[in-house]
Chain A
Amino acid sequence: MKTNSIDYKSIPGWGIDIDPENEPTYPMKNYTGDDHKRSVYERSEPQPVNIELLKSNERPAFSMVFGESIPPSGLSGMIRRYAFKHSEDRYRHWIPLILADRVNAWEGIVDDLKKGTIPNIFAERGMKSEMKYNAGPFAKKALTTVAVGIALYLLCRKKK
């Protein structure tokens, strides 16, 4: 990439209206004047990379520390790898990640079954509290679901 190498300070009027007090992000940001030396700072030593780590392509290298949880795997992992080929500006990054999350939820159920565990989706959705604090609307919703199910079943049978 070509960089602009002109001596911008020689441009007539350069810097004439600089007002160091005009810092709209204060007090959130305690401006030190070092924004243009931002690449130069003492870094911590890097965390060893022992897992597959997907990196935003908007940064040149891994951050010095990172989360070690849940490396990409399976079909959702393939989708995530595709997503990370695209910058954070692109839908091609975010939409596949949402899709991967949905696929991953099904993979989680399959993993549970493989381990011999039948996921207790009723308990995982907090239905105990639902029945305790929201029994009326919950019962109404359950009855509606059952009624719609029966209606669909009867409709299908009639068509046959």
Chain B
Amino acid sequence: MLAMNYRGPFRVRAEQRPMPEILHPEDAIVRVTRTCICGSDLHLYHGMVPDTRVGSTFGHEFIGIIEEVGPLVTNVKVGDQVLVPFNIACGKCNFCKQGLYGNCHESNTMATAVGGIFGYSHTAGGYNGGQAEYVRVPYANVGPTVIPPDMDPDDAVLLTDVVPTGYQAAEMGGIKEGDTVVVFGAGPIGIMAARCAWFFGAARVIIIDHVDYRLEFAKNYAKCEAYNFKSMADPVLFLKKTTDWFGADVCIDCVGCEAEGNALQTFTGKITLMQAGAATALQWAINSVKKGGIVSVVGVYGPPFNYVPIGNVLNKGITLRANQASVKRLLPKLIDHVQSGRLSPKDLITHRVPLEEIADAYNIFSKKLDECIKTVLIPSTKN
């Protein structure tokens, strides 16, 4: 089968690999029909996530058709069209039982700080991902969810990560009616977080980025105010001024470890790797939120540590909330939002690329060429 193959920072190719096999009685094999490149895949692609081994296949956003199931799989059957949450979750541990499917205790041998994730380095369990024609899906009674027959596959594939992560970013903000919400990052997750902030009663939603075409898209798609921080001398000061000098009620970091906008953060986080990526967005979020406000973090950072103004978290009485999205918990609600037309995730898709051209797809997404927002890879086995 054809699969993505990571060869080192900024180098990937599509090549033939052995078919995945059932390795556990609760496994399924899924024939992939759509798979996306996620912004967080770029952290792997750029060599910023420790224990990303050469030969790995990335991809944690995918849908497909069940081709084979292990003897203990009862919730899905061969031929079902399923969307597969990016989290690998057993459904039985204390964390899964409380809805923390992103924190499963039985899916990652290599690290305790994160649950298993498809195609996201050995730090997240060493699973091959869905940027391939076929993929092994562990705990198939828990994750894979049958796609409603009337749902567009392009909407379904974005329900595996983008929509739940954006929605949970807003949910964790504890937004109250009338709140001002600031979202840092106008990538797919940030755009979705800004769109979902309205569901919780926000009165004003502001998105901050430095890429004009994405800000323009966000303004139209999420009906929010959009500002380029490169046009400001000081983004924190701008946000203070525009919120009556108090700060936003809720700030959401949808950027993570590859932020731009602060020379010291960039030097220590991206150039010299003296910290786990540049924490500029998180720094701005902490410093832009009101006293007693809430900062919600879904931007991905590496495991060691980051330089953030933790003293301000204490002195301002900020509540910091963060997690990998619990996709399975949110799916029923989000499927309803999509089916009722309140959300149209597929509008984010700007590029559809054959799996064979994955190296170009990564380069386009990484460098934001051709006004790229979201790339879907289509394997030739989709039919």
Determine the distance from Cα of A84 to Cα of B122 in the docked complex, in whole angstroms. 12
A47's contact among B11, B23, B56, B370, by CB below 8 Å, is which? B23
Q: Mark A120-156, 1 if CB is under 8 A from B, else 0.
A: 1101111111100110000000000000000000000
Chain B interface size range? 35 or more
Min CB–CB distance A32 → chain B (angstroms) = 5
A104's contact among B54, B136, B302, by CB below 8 Å, is which? B54
Contact assessment for B98 and A32 in the assembled complex, using a CB-CB cutoff below 8 Å: yes
Min CB–CB distance B122 → chain A (angstroms) = 7
List 21 interface pairs A-B (beta carbons < 8 Å), by A numbering.
A25-B321, A44-B106, A45-B24, A47-B23, A48-B23, A55-B109, A58-B112, A63-B109, A64-B106, A65-B26, A65-B27, A66-B125, A67-B122, A94-B50, A101-B52, A102-B47, A105-B11, A108-B54, A124-B11, A130-B363, A134-B369
Q: Counting CB contacts under 8 A, is A43 at the interface?
A: yes
Q: Which residues of A contact B7 (CB under 8 A)?
A: 105, 108-109, 119, 124
Contact assessment for A67 and B116 in the assembled complex, using a CB-CB cutoff below 8 Å: yes
Contact assessment for A65 and B138 in the assembled complex, using a CB-CB cutoff below 8 Å: yes
Contact assessment for B53 and A124 in the assembled complex, using a CB-CB cutoff below 8 Å: no
Q: Counting CB contacts under 8 A, is B83 at the interface?
A: no
Contact assessment for B25 and A45 in the assembled complex, using a CB-CB cutoff below 8 Å: yes
Contact assessment for A47 and B24 in the assembled complex, using a CB-CB cutoff below 8 Å: yes
Q: Which residues of B contact A69 (CB under 8 A)?
A: 53, 55-57, 126-128
Contact assessment for B126 and A124 in the assembled complex, using a CB-CB cutoff below 8 Å: no
Contact assessment for A65 and B93 in the assembled complex, using a CB-CB cutoff below 8 Å: no
Q: Which residue of B53, B128, B361 has the most chain A CB atoms within 10 A of its CB atom?
A: B53
Would you list the 6 A-B pairs with minimal beta carbon distance, nearest first?
A126-B363, A105-B8, A67-B126, A67-B127, A97-B50, A129-B360
Q: Mark B159-176, 1 if CB is under 8 A from A, else 0.
A: 000000000100110000
Contact assessment for B109 and A38 in the assembled complex, using a CB-CB cutoff below 8 Å: no
Q: Which residues of A contact B99 (CB under 8 A)?
A: 27-30
Q: Which residues of A contact B113 (CB under 8 A)?
A: 88
Q: Which residue of B51, B93, B98 has the most chain A CB atoms within 10 A of its CB atom?
A: B51
Determine the distance from Cα of A129 to Cα of B90 in the docked complex, in whole angstroms. 40
Q: Nearest chain-A residue to B113 (Cβ)? A: A88
Q: Counting CB contacts under 8 A, is A91 at the interface?
A: yes
Given A38-B93, A44-B24, A124-B7, 9 other A-B contacts at CB below 8 A?
Answer: A30-B329, A34-B94, A34-B97, A63-B108, A67-B116, A88-B303, A98-B50, A126-B361, A126-B362
B304's contact among A65, A91, A130, by CB below 8 Å, is which? A91
Min CB–CB distance B376 → chain A (angstroms) = 16
